[in-house]
Chain A
Amino acid sequence: MYNRISPFLISILCIGIAVLYIPMLVLIGYSFNASPLVSVWGGFSTSWYTQLIHNDQILDAAWLSLRIGVFVSTGALILGTLAAIALVRFKLFRGRLLLTGMVNAPLVMPEIVTGITQLLLFISMLQLFGWPHRGITTIVIAHIAFCTAYVTITVQSRLHSADRSLEEAAMDLGAGPVRAFIDTTLPAIAPALASSWLLSFTLSLDDLVISSFVSGPGASTLPMVIFSKVKLGVSPDVNALASLIICLVGICVLMAGYLMRRTERRRVHDAQLAQH
């Protein structure tokens, strides 16, 4: 009797999912509207997409954001994985509490506060050391800080559940701890590494507030350009751009999820075969 789901629950679930998806679907619909007036349906057209290809401001901003995203997600992956290893494998060390706080705080700190404080730091550093100049460098540094936190949380939970017996077996067979880790545990946490790289990439690509604070003249990321256009109201070329981004990210995430599940299943399967 308790295992049946009531129609009430099902309808709330459907409403919730509809709330999440309808705005995006409508946006994609509008992006194919031939009429520049967003309220009138003027027939099907892909003209906003062709206009997009010729918009240098948007293309430059997109290229800048992609480059920043690659630097950020790679940097955050390295730092976050190290932090996760430290927190899971070293039970006691001086600074453990500090590190725990440092990987949790960015997750709950409002972006606007992080952005302001980081800008103040960069300006003071520039005065004292003559580095870093505001622009792509400061954006990358600032993004790595909050993305590291997300990577650590993701990798940490995977590392907790990873089986250590293989690693110990490798060490009993004479492998050094680093070698043993790379050969046994690293493949096991690889899906988590891949998904946290992807997560950092999308978080960096999407960030508006922190970038706006720490960026300098001449470095406008894609969200900054979109935001300045959107503030003026709905515009058809942003509809096209937004639809492109939403579809690309959706496809990438679904594909990555599928691939990770497949490799994970194969790995578990292989491990089971090896045990028999």
Chain B
Amino acid sequence: MKSARDTAADWLKSRAKWLIILPPLLYLVVFFLIPFAFALVISLADTAVRVPPFTDILSISPDWHIHLTLNLGNFKYLFTDEVYGLSYFYSIKTAFFSTVICLALGYPMAYAISRTSKTTQSILLLIVILPFWTSFLLRVYALEGIIRETGLLNTALLWLGIIDHPLQIMRTTFAVYIGIVYSYLPFMVLPLFATLEKLDHSLLEAAGDLGSPPWRAFLDVTLPLSMPGIIAGSMLVFIPAIGEFVIPTLLGGPNNLMIGRVLWDEFFGNRDWPVASAVAIAFLVLLVGPIAIYQHYSTKQLNS
């Protein structure tokens, strides 16, 4: 007689399991993956004054010949107009430095949290995660109340006599850095905490017994072992920061041309959909490297 377990296994092997697999798979393929194919196709079309504002790539003439018109001009345009190159470069630079600041602030935070008792840990983690649940847009807006010319920071510094005229922080690159660090700090702390929490403290004690001073033990033991967390956290900040739109728009100045803003303007301002699609596709190609690195390290972390 078959055990209940075997019967269940047979049942699962049958087609019924596709009832579980197919709905999410199909949904995500249709509404997440296929859109990229459409963007690729439209990036090869030409702008046209019609609705939607681009030409057909495939057309069938009256004598049933199929015409395929591919236009690589949009991609060529990305290289000739220096706005695009500059904004890609600027986005990467901004995201890179924001990530470094996040790491410098987030690592000691995660380290401190990991050294506290279990109860304190869960409370501190909740405090760090809570802002992630509240509105991102509103938090960026709240930041404006601190750093604008008549904001809290300038008022406090003036009152303390540290400065004698208000600092111009709003509409500068510095404001964009502050905005990104403020918004993405929880994304840095959580993966770092996850690796630091698992750290085997006997290794540190062994290093200490063998004569390593604490800073040396940190460099030789803690830092290498927390590398997966450092990379996962950095990518979780770096990748969305490159594509950031809200922060440079609300806090940055006209010089802070990040790729997200260029895309938005191309789409809503110029209504040049083929060029916008080409910008998006080029952006995606740029992201493949960081995303691959992130996937590699996050699956490694999951498996360990």
On A, residues with C-beta under 8 Å from B are: 1-3, 5, 8-10, 12-13, 15-17, 19-24, 26-27, 30, 38-39, 78-80, 82-83, 85-86, 89-90, 93, 95, 98-99, 102-106, 108-114, 116-118, 120-121, 123-124, 127, 141-142, 144-146, 148-149, 152, 168, 171-174, 176-177, 180, 199, 202, 205-206, 208-209, 213, 223, 226-227, 230-231, 234, 238-239, 242, 245-246, 249-250, 253-254, 257
Contacts and interface: CB of A to CB of B under 8 A. Distances in A.
A145 B5 contact: no
B38 A12 contact: no
Nearest to A10: B112
Contact of B21 (A99, A168, A250): A99
Contact of A79 (B23, B115, B135): B23
A226 B12 contact: no
Given A8-B108, A142-B31, A112 B245 contact: yes
Interface residues of B, number: 93
Contacts of A23: 139, 142-143, 145-146, 182
Residue of B134, B148, B152 with most chain A CB atoms under a 10 A cut-off:
B134
Contact of A2 (B24, B27, B33, B204): B204
B205 to A, nearest CB: 7
Residue of A27, A78, A120, A124 with most chain B CB atoms under a 10 A cut-off:
A120
A141 B31 CA distance: 8
B66 interface: no
B36 A90 contact: no
Interface stretch (B67-75, B79-87, B123-131, B223-231): B123-131
B274 to A, nearest CB: 10
A11 B79 CA distance: 47
Interface in B70-120: 105-106, 108-109, 111-113, 115-116
B294 interface: yes
B146 A82 contact: no
27 contacts: A16-B128, A17-B128, A20-B182, A24-B142, A82-B23, A82-B24, A86-B24, A89-B12, A93-B21, A98-B25, A110-B283, A120-B38, A120-B273, A121-B31, A123-B52, A144-B27, A145-B28, A148-B24, A172-B4, A206-B135, A208-B137, A226-B138, A234-B141, A238-B141, A245-B135, A253-B133, A257-B126
B135 A223 contact: yes
A68 to B, nearest CB: 15
Given A102-B29, A213-B267, A230 B142 contact: no
B263 interface: yes
A111 B241 CA distance: 11
Given A38-B150, A145-B32, A230 B250 contact: yes
Contacts of B270: none
Contact of B243 (A85, A113, A226): A113
Given A2-B201, A245-B134, A27 B142 contact: yes
Contacts of B260: 110, 112, 209
B142 A12 contact: no
Interface of B: 3-5, 7-8, 11-12, 17, 20-21, 23-25, 27-29, 31-36, 38-39, 42, 52, 105-106, 108-109, 111-113, 115-116, 124, 126-128, 130-131, 133-139, 141-146, 148, 150, 152, 181-182, 185-186, 189, 201, 204-205, 208, 214, 217, 235-236, 239-240, 242-246, 249-250, 260, 263-264, 267, 273, 276-277, 280, 283-284, 287, 291, 294-295
B28 A103 contact: yes
Nearest to B131: A20
A47 to B, nearest CB: 18
B131 to A, nearest CB: 5
A9 B112 contact: yes
Residue of A23, A39, A118, A141 with most chain B CB atoms under a 10 A cut-off:
A23
Residue of B27, B138, B264, B283 with most chain A CB atoms under a 10 A cut-off:
B138
A145 B31 contact: yes
B135 A205 contact: yes
B257 to A, nearest CB: 14
A197 B225 CA distance: 34
A30 B145 contact: yes
Given A22-B146, A27-B141, A116 B136 contact: no
Contacts of B242: 110
A36 B28 CA distance: 47
Given A24-B131, A27-B142, A110-B240, 6 more contacts: A83-B24, A83-B25, A86-B24, A117-B280, A118-B35, A230-B250
